[in-house]
C-alpha cells in the first residue's frame, strides 16, 4: 500500500503521499496542499524542496556520495574521461565503441564557430568578463542554429543529438576564443583529428606556425577537471537551466541562463575567489590566520572561499579526488606552486578549528581546481568558463528531462507576500 504522511491543521487532517527514490530518498508530496488546505509549502531558497524527479545524478551530502547514472564519481574519475562521462550523463548509459565514435564525430564536426559569431565576440570590450561574453555567445546560438532551437519541445527533441553536440563543442571553442580575444591573439581553428581536451588546448595555446601539442599529463588533468564538474544534481545553475527550459525555451537559451547563474562567486565563481584569496595570503606573507579569523565573523563577504557546501556536510568527494590530483599533476609537470602549500595549510588549520568543524565546513571542489588549472596555463579569469565547459553535459541532460517529461509543467514557485497591504494611490504633487 502506498505510504502517506498526515498533516493536522486547524482540526482537520490532510493525507499527503510519500514519494521514495531508488536510493531511498523520501519526500512528502505537497502538490495538492494548497488546493486542499489553502496553505503552500514554504522553503526559502528551496533547501529542502525536491523540484523534480531525476535519473541523472545521485548525491548524498551526509555520506559524501556522488554518482552519475549509478556510477561512482571515483570510478569515473579514475577510469573514464570527460567525453565518455558527458555521454553517460546525457544519454544514461556508457557508450558502446560505435556510440562513442559517433558522439566524438558529432563533437568534432561542430567545433568551428561561424565567422559572424566571431564578430559578435569582437564587439565586446577586451576587458569584458569572460562569463558575460560566454553567456552572450551561447544565447546567440539559436540565431545560427534556428532549426535546433525552435522553442517547441517535440521539434527540439528530434534534433537533440545535434543540439547537444553543438552546445558541448562550441562552448569549448568559445572559451578558447574569449581567451585569445582578451590577449589580442588571432583565433585558432579547431583541429578535426584532435581529441576534445587536446583540441581545446590547441585552440588556446597554439602560436602562429607553432602548434601547441598537449603533454598527455596535461590532457589527462584537464579531462579530470572537466569530468568532475560534469553534473551536480539540482545546483543553482542546473536548476536555472531546468526553470528556463520548463517554459519550452530551447536548449541554448536554457544553457545560457545557467551560465549566468554559474558566474556568481557562491557558485562557479568560487574557483576564482579561492585563487584570489590564496594569492592575497601569499602576497601578504600571511599564513592564512587572518582569513580564518575573518571568515568566523559570520559575514558573507568574508567567507573562506572553497569551503562549505549547500549539500555536502561531511566531505565533497570531488574535492578528495582533485586534492590528490593536484599533487600528482604538479609533480608530473615539475611545478612548485606556493599556493598549493598555502591551500594545504589553510585546509589543515580550518579542519582543526571548532568554527568550521561544528558547522561541517570542508573544502569543496573549487578549493583545489584552480591550482590545477593554473598549472595547465589557464589564467584565473577563465576558471569559471572552464567550469561551464565541464557542466554543459549536466545542463543538457537536465534540459532533456524537462523537455521529455510528458507530465512536466512550467516552473512557477509561490511566495509569501510580506509587503504593504492595499493602499490608495496619491498623485505626485499631493504626496
- Annotated catalytic sites, by residue? 309, 366
Contact window for ligand CMC (CB under 6 A) among 49-57, 169-177, 357-365, 420-428:
357-365
| Residue from 100, 112, 140, 371 nearest 253 by CA | 140
96/301 with CB nearer ligand CMC: 301
Region near ligand CMC per CB under 6 A, out of 20-28, 279-287, 298-306, 420-428: 298-306
User: Is residue 323 part of the contact set for ligand CMC (CB under 6 A)?
Assistant: no
Q: Which residue, among 226, 252, 271, 245, has the nearest Cα to 136 in the 3D structure?
A: 252
Q: Which is nearer to ligand CMC, 117 or 373 (CB)?
A: 373
By CB under 6 A, residue 59 contacts ligand CMC: no
Based on the shown chain and the rule CB under 6 A, indicate whether residue 295 belongs to the binding site for ligand CMC.
Answer: yes
Residue 306 binds ligand CMC (CB under 6 A):
yes
Q: Which is nearer to ligand CMC, 245 or 306 (CB)?
A: 306
When the beta carbons of 9 and 357 are compared against ligand CMC, the nearer one is 357
Q: Any contact of residue 361 with ligand CMC (CB under 6 A)?
A: yes
310, 333, 339, 380: which one binds ligand CMC (CB under 6 A): 310
Size of the site for ligand CMC (CB under 6 A): 21
Q: At closest approach, how far in Å is the CB of 20 from ligand CMC?
A: 25
Closest distance between ligand CMC and the C-beta of residue 296, in Å? Answer: 7
CB of 304 to ligand CMC, least distance (A): 4
> Which candidate, 398, 84, 106, places its Cα nearest to that of 258?
398
Give Cα separations from 346 to 182, 281, 294, 310 (angstroms): 33, 10, 13, 21
Shorter beta-carbon distance to ligand CMC: residue 81 or 231: 231
* Surface-to-core class of residue 328, CB atoms within 10 Å of its CB (0-12 exposed, 13-18 middle, 19+ buried): middle
Closest residue to ligand CMC: CB criterion: 308
First to last CA, the chain: 63
Among 169, 223, 234, 364, binds ligand CMC (CB under 6 A): 364
Distance from C-alpha of 198 to C-alpha of 190, rounded to nearest angstrom: 10
Using CB under 6 A, pick the residue from 309, 374, 391, 400 that binds ligand CMC: 309
Q: Which is nearer to ligand CMC, 138 or 361 (CB)?
A: 361
Per CB under 6 A, which region of 134-142, 185-193, 214-222, 296-304 contacts ligand CMC? 296-304
Buried b (16+ CB within 10 A) or exposed e, 39-71: eeeeeeeeeeebeeebebbbbbbeebbbbbbeb
In terms of CB distance, is 190 or 265 closer to ligand CMC?
A: 265
Q: Does 359 bind ligand CMC (CB under 6 A)?
A: yes
Residue 281 binds to ligand CMC (criterion: CB under 6 A)? no
> Of the two residues 64 and 140, which places its CB atom closer to ligand CMC in the complex?
64
371 binds ligand CMC (CB under 6 A): no
232 binds ligand CMC (CB under 6 A): yes
Does 304 bind ligand CMC (CB under 6 A)? Our answer is: yes
Single residue of 160, 252, 307, 383 touching ligand CMC by CB under 6 A: 307
- Exactly one of 67, 180, 267, 391 binds ligand CMC (CB under 6 A); which one? 267
Under a CB-based contact definition with an 8 Å cutoff, are residues 68 and 320 in contact?
no
Residue 270 binds ligand CMC, judged by CB under 6 A: yes
Pairing of strands 71-72, 65-68: antiparallel
Residue 305 interacting with ligand CMC (CB under 6 A): yes
* Chain residues in the site for ligand CMC (CB under 6 A): 232, 235, 266-268, 270, 295, 298, 303-310, 359, 361, 364-366
Amino acid at each position: 500500500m502506498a505510504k502517506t504522511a498526515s498533516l493536522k491543521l486547524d482540526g482537520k487532517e490532510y493525507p499527503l503521499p510519500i514519494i521514495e527514490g531508488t536510493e531511498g530518498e523520501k519526500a512528502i508530496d505537497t502538490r495538492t496542499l494548497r488546493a486542499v488546505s489553502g496553505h503552500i509549502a514554504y522553503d526559502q531558497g528551496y533547501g529542502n524542496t525536491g523540484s523534480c524527479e531525476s535519473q541523472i545524478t545521485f548525491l548524498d551530502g551526509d555520506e559524501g556520495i556522488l554518482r552519475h547514472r549509478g556510477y561512482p564519481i571515483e570510478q569515473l574519475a579514475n577510469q573514464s574521461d570527460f567525453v565518455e562521462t558527458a555521454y553517460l550523463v546525457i544519454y544514461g548509459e556508457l557508450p558502446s565503441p560505435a556510440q562513442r565514435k559517433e558522439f566524438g564525430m558529432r563533437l568534432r564536426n561542430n567545433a568551428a564557430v561561424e565567422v559572424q559569431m566571431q564578430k559578435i565576440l569582437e564587439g565586446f570590450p577586451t576587458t569584458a568578463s569572460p562569463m558575460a561574453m560566454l553567456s552572450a555567445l551561447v544565447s546567440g546560438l539559436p540565431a545560427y542554429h534556428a532549426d535546433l532551437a525552435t522553442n517547441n519541445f517535440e521539434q527540439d527533441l528530434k534534433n537533440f543529438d545535434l543540439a547537444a553536440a553543438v552546445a558541448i563543442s562550441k562552448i569549448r571553442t568559445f572559451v578558447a576564443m574569449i581567451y585569445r580575444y582578451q590577449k589580442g591573439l588571432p583565433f585558432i581553428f579547431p583541429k578535426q583529428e584532435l581529441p576534445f581536451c587536446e583540441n581545446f588546448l590547441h585552440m588556446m595555446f597554439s602560436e602562429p606556425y607553432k602548434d601547441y601539442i598537449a603533454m598527455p599529463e596535461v590532457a589527462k588533468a584537464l579531462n579530470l577537471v572537466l569530468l568532475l564538474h560534469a553534473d551536480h544534481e539540482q545546483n543553482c545553475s542546473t536548476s536555472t537551466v531546468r526553470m528556463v527550459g520548463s517554459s519550452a525555451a530551447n536548449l541554448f537559451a536554457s544553457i545560457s541562463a545557467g551560465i549566468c547563474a554559474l558566474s556568481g562567486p557562491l557558485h562557479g565563481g568560487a574557483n576564482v575567489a579561492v585563487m584570489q584569496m590564496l594569492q592575497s595570503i601569499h602576497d601578504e606573507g600571511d599564513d592564512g590566520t587572518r582569513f580564518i579569523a575573518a571568515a568566523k565573523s559570520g559575514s558573507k563577504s568574508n567567507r573562506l572561499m572553497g569551503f562549505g557546501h549547500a549539500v555536502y556536510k561531511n566531505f565533497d568527494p570531488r574535492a578528495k579526488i582533485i586534492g590528490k590530483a593536484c599533487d600528482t599533476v604538479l609533480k608530473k609537470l615539475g611545478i612548485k606552486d606556493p599556493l598549493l602549500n598555502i591551500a594545504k595549510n589553510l585546509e589543515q588549520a580550518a579542519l582543526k578549528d571548532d568554527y568550521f568543524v561544528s558547522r561541517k565546513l570542508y573544502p569543496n571542489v573549487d578549493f583545489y581546481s584552480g591550482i590545477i588549472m593554473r598549472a595547465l596555463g589557464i589564467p584565473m579569469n577563465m576558471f569559471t568558463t572552464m567550469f561551464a565547459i565541464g557542466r554543459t553535459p549536466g545542463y543538457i541532460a537536465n534540459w532533456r528531462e524537462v523537455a521529455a517529461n510528458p507530465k512536466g509543467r512550467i516552473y512557477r514557485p509561490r511566495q509569501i507576500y510580506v509587503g504593504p497591504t492595499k493602499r490608495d494611490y496619491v498623485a505626485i504633487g499631493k504626496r
